[in-house]
Structure 1
Amino acid sequence: MSVHTAGETPDTCVVVPTIREYECVREYVANAREYGHADRLLFVLVTEDFCDADAMRAMLDDLDVAGVVFDESDRHDWYAEHGIGDYDHVVPAASHAQTSFGLLYLWAHDFEFGFFIDDDTLPHGTDFFGGHYRNLSYEGSITQVRSADDEERWVNVLHQNFDEHGLYPRGYPYAAMGGGHESETVDLARGDVVASQGLWTNVPDLDAVRILMDGDLQGQAQTRTTAADYGEDFLVAPGHYTTVCSMNLAFRREVVPAFYQLPMDDNGWDVGRFDDIWSGVFLKRAADVLGKRVLTGTPLCEHNKAPRSTFDDLNNEVPALELNEHVWEVVDDVGGDADTFRGAFAAMADALADGGFEAWTNSDFLTFVGEHMRDWLDCLDALDAGRPVPSAAAPAVAETGGEADD
């Protein structure tokens, strides 16, 4: 592992989990350069030992953009170098939830902002990074949406053209389907928004059941979305929940303690595909407690999901489908007196780790998740207590003993 540095010291860590089409980074860098943001960015590519990490490093070098590539071996070396080897289990192996490693890197190097970008996406011809930056500093009037159902308090991020496409996104509880929405105008002060969720054109982010109902066996969808399916940006009202997808997402550093991407795939229940969904539930609860907001809408990305078996996704989702109906209820009334994201997340971790959910299938998985949430907070504490680490744009010799432009 080595760091390629370029331009000024970045304040933004862009995390790209990839085992496939890492060349998408070229399009994002081109977009950043066109609109004047490239010097603010450091790309962290999180990959596996069986992937061509050297080719990814060569791409970053060719692009002359600040960046670093971590395969599995590099990650374990990084844990050891930063004194957190005892916590390497918090980031699951061979899972999309390895985006949590990017959060650790961001935390250790004091980045102010973070971006999650999936490798099967591309930016549209608009100011992608600037759109997220503007959202995170938004002030003024904006639409706030709530569920019309006082019991199932969920808002569909695809509600704006629902009458045409009838879609619900991955992770949306089945019990909450069919309810209407209400909206109002509220005012935001600068700094209220702590996360910006951009939505997606082309392949919508659906769960396997809905993909099968849409008649697609290749993990995509017959129904596609376009920019015309989306209207104005919006907030979800306090006390109401929504799905958060990490394929196109920006956030402030302060949320990292409450934004752990949960231990999917690498677990004894074979549960997958709920890492960003549940982490989004926890983030929303923490934000509500602290009077902060999550903004949803633009900037859009183009989601070009590669074909794969819908039934493989279904097998990953089924073990936790019942839990997904209830996990938001578990955290909905805890941590109300917290005054930090860490405090709110700790309360949610305790609620899950203490168990008592035997009525639900695979309820022990929630305890497992809660224990890992506690470990996540301990891991961040260990990073804070460890030796000083070099800035992200410092020569790579400080971390690797190698040359800066490898």
Structure 2
Amino acid sequence: MSKPATPVAPPLKDELDIVIPTIRNLDFLEMWRPFFEPYHLIIVQDGDPSKIIKVPEGFDYELYNRNDINRILGPKASCISFKDSACRCFGFLVSKKKYIFTIDDDCFVAKDPSGKEINALAQHIQNLLSPSTPLFFNTLYDPFREGADFVRGYPFSMREGVPTAVSHGLWLNIPDYDAPTQLVKPRERNTRYVDAVLTIPKGTLFPMCGMNLAFNRELIGPAMYFGLMGDGQPIGRYDDMWAGWCTKVITDHLGLGVKTGLPYIWHSKASNPFVNLKKEYKGIYWQEDIIPFFQSVTLPKECTTVQKCYIELSKLVMEKLGPIDPYFQKLADAMVTWIDAWDELNSPQSAPAAADGKDGSSSKKK
């Protein structure tokens, strides 16, 4: 008689929070239940705080709405975007865990070419727990994956790699396109599953998408600020881009790594390209100045922490991008406010901030 299999504990169960921004009931969690149910969820409700968001039974979660954000942050709540998925970074702020996985509510479980459902969270964890190689490119992709290694000619002195701060996942079905590309390719779908993970080289920027993203909060958390976007701002849909540019400059400076590739999720619906164009059009112009700015940024050696790097970056944003538009002056100020809020909520003395059930919010345990 064979022994029953010993249950395998989910990886990093007590060290990882899943952050989800939403304006609707979270029925999509049913599909993710086998993978997400053991973990703690932080749900950031955008828009009308009086609306009741329903979460399927059995999940361990906290739910924060705009009233909670105002209550917890006070005047500093001005740095958290409203009516934009950038509000997710509030979840990063109040988490007390080492790792964060964040996903959008229109993203579902994808299948690999064999038809097996992909556990995106497990792949992100694998990426974060293995080193990155930003200093020298390995042509056989990630040398730390099973079945791969460093190729001939790779310097032995660099084979230890560096700690991985960010794991950036991709999408099947609806690609993450900007509005002009959506308009000219309305029926395009991504059907290619590429079984690869790459380290983004040092000195190279990338367009970071927040809908399937994980990071080591202790290594890079304060840089994961999704900017001032959405309601009352002249720009939207650049929140994750902004966080990605800032994060990459800081990881390069601090000797950390960023991986991209696996895991895939299934992105279920394309947003309206005309609405997107209205949100993006200033960003499309501005990015032609923003990208060269980030490419030329050099942080002083005195910047030895993420917070110090981010404050220095905010000064450079004010100085170099401020003259382009007053929005960047406002954004630079918000970057400082964000760091103040981060330090306040994450100091050793601060108690965990919880949604207390007031003002339409709810907190529910499994």
TM-score, normalization by structure 1: 0.72
Taking a change above 3 Å as real, the CA distance of residues 52 and 24 of structure 1, as seen in their structure-2 partners, is: farther
RMSD: 3.1
From 245, 258, 261, give the equivalent of 2:209. 245
Q: Sort the Cα spacing of 1:145 and 1:48 in 2 relative to 1 into closer, same or farther, 3 A.
A: same
C-alpha spacing 1:247/1:401, structure 2 compared with 1 (3 Å)? closer
> Which letter maps to 1:379?
A
- The aligned residue for residue 98 of structure 2 is 112
User: Are 1:266 and 2:231 counterparts?
Assistant: yes
Structure 2 partner of 1:290: 254
Structure 2 partner of 1:344: 309
SS in 1 for 2:41: strand
| 2:192 maps to 1:198 | no
> For each residue in 1:297-331, what CA deviation from the matched residue of structure 2 results, as whole angstroms up to 9, or x when unmatched?
011000012553x1111011112222212213223
2:164 aligned partner, one-letter code:
V
Q: 1:31 to 1:318 in 2, by over 3 A?
A: same
Match of 1:369 among 323, 331, 346: 331
Compared CA separation, residues 290 and 307, structure 1 to 2 (3 A): closer
Q: Deviation of residue 126 (structure 1)?
A: 2.0
Shift of 1:121: 0.3
* Matched-pair contact (CA < 8 Å) for 2:236–2:280: yes
Conservation of the 8 A alpha-carbon contact between 1:265 and 1:272: yes
Residue aligning to 1:24: 28
Kindly indicate whether the alpha-carbon contact (under 8 Å) linking 2:344 and 2:350 is maintained by their aligned counterparts in 1.
no
List gaps (5 residues or longer) in structure 2. Answer: 1-11, 111-116, 139-152
Contact 2:70 2:77 in 1 (8 A): yes
Distance 2:31 2:247 in 1: 29
Q: Secondary structure at the match of 1:389?
A: coil
The residue that corresponds to 1:211 in the other structure is: 182
- Contact 2:83 / 2:230 at 8 angstroms: preserved in 1? yes
Q: Which amino acid aligns with 2:122?
A: G
Is the Cα contact below 8 Å between 2:172 and 2:192 reproduced in 1? yes
Match of 2:79 in 1: 90
Structure 2 counterpart SS, 1:277 = helix
Question: Is 2:96 the counterpart of 1:102?
Answer: no
Amino acid at match of 2:341: C
User: More helix per residue: 1 or 2?
Assistant: 1
Preserved CA contact (<8 Å) 1:142 1:233? no
Q: Alignment partner for residue 45 of structure 2, among 44, 47, 70? A: 47
- Letter of the structure 2 residue corresponding to residue 116 of structure 1: T
Whether 1:330 aligns to 2:293 is: yes
Give the drift of 1:273.
0.7
What's the offset of the Cα at 1:76? 2.4
Deviation at 1:387, TM superposition (A): 5.3
Between 1:311-320 and 1:14-23, the stretch displaced more is 14-23
Residue correspondences, number: 328
Q: Is the CA contact 2:123–2:263 (under 8 Å) kept in the aligned structure 1?
A: yes
Deviates more, 1:349-358 or 1:375-384: 349-358
Say which SS state the counterpart of residue 205 (structure 1) adopts: coil
Please state how far the C-alpha of 1:296 moved relative to its aligned partner: 0.2
User: What SS does structure 1 have at the residue aligned with 2:341?
Assistant: helix
Aligned counterparts of 1:55 and 1:24: Cα–Cα separation in 2: 13
1:142/1:188 contact within 8 Å kept: no
- Residue correspondence of structure 1 range 108-257 to structure 2 within 5 A: 110-124=96-110, 125-139=117-131, 189=160, 192-214=163-185, 216=186, 222-228=187-193, 230-253=194-217, 254-257=219-222
Matched, 1:76 2:70: yes
Shift in Å, 1:391:
8.6
Give the CA deviation at 1:405.
Answer: 4.7
2:54 maps to a residue whose letter is M
1:48 and 1:200 map into 2 onto residues whose CA distance is 23
- Paired position in structure 2 for 1:155: none
Q: Is the 8 A contact 2:42 2:91 kept in 1?
A: yes
Is the 8 Å Cα contact of residues 31 and 123 (structure 1) preserved in structure 2? no
The answer to whether the 8 A contact 1:14-1:42 is kept is yes
Asked if structure 2 preserves the Cα contact closer than 8 Å seen for 1:139 and 1:188, the reply is no
C-alpha change, 1:275 and 1:188, in structure 2 (3 Å) is farther
Structure 1 residue runs of 5 or longer lacking an equivalent are 1-7, 33-37, 147-183, 217-221
Change (3 A) 1:256 1:401: closer
Alpha-carbon distance between aligned partners in 2 of 1:14 and 1:139, rounded to the nearest angstrom: 22
TM-score scaled by length of structure 2: 0.80
- Cα gap change, 1:210/1:86 in structure 2, threshold over 3 Å: closer, same or farther? same
Give the share of equivalent positions with the same residue, in percent. Answer: 23
Matched residue type, 2:103: I
